[in-house]
Amino acid sequence: MIKLKFFALFLILSYAIGPVTFAQTAESSPHQKFLGNWSNIDPAGDLVKVQVFKQKDGKHWQIQAWGKCEPKNCDWGKVTLNLVGSSISDKSFEYGFAVWEFEGRSKVDMTTYLLLKIDGEQLVIEKITIFSDGSKRSNYRSFYLLKREK
């Protein structure tokens, strides 16, 4: 229970802080490890693909994700990728954090949070979905392993 409360607080604080701007070059940016196209190793997973890229200003990074839909995958759109460390003084920024707010899209009001971490050659994603549309669906979390596309 304590871990869940800590993680919820972590998510709220990370979202409230907003995007981080870096004066570093793209080669030295902590975002670099997340850069590229990633595909879910489980073809049945509801998170199909993510793409991490640098904005044209060279200072901010974005993430775009696609979910499993029929007849074709749903584009969630592009949002800011925030970097998060393990403490207030941690500059390693080993986590990425992104938030999608789906208000009224497909008659569903929900917020989806992604927490990303590189583990070897894989991208590990924890997804938390919170419904706010009165549908009485359960909020939920899920985990995904993605591989970098070549």
pLDDT 10s digits, 108-147: 789 999 999 999 999 999 999 999 988 889 999 999 999 9
The structural domain count of the chain equals: 1
Tokens of 47: 């998170």
Number of helices and strands in the chain (H, E):
1, 9
Q: How far is residue 87's CA from residue 6's CA, in Å, rounded to a whole number? A: 13
pLDDT of residue 69: 87
Tokens of 55: 């904005």
pLDDT of residue 5: 45
Q: Which residues of 48-84 are buried (b: 16+ CB within 10 A; e: fewer)?
A: bbbbbbbeeeeebbbbbbbbeeeeeebebeebebbbb
pLDDT of residue 112: 95
Band (105; pLDDT cuts 50, 70, 90): low
- Determine the 3-state secondary structure of 126 from DSSP: strand
Domain extent, residue 39, equals: 2-148
Q: What is the mean pLDDT of residues 86-111?
A: 86
pLDDT digits (tens, 9 = 90+) for 4-22: 444 444 444 444 444 443 3
Q: What is the CATH number of the domain that holds 63?
A: 2.40.128.30
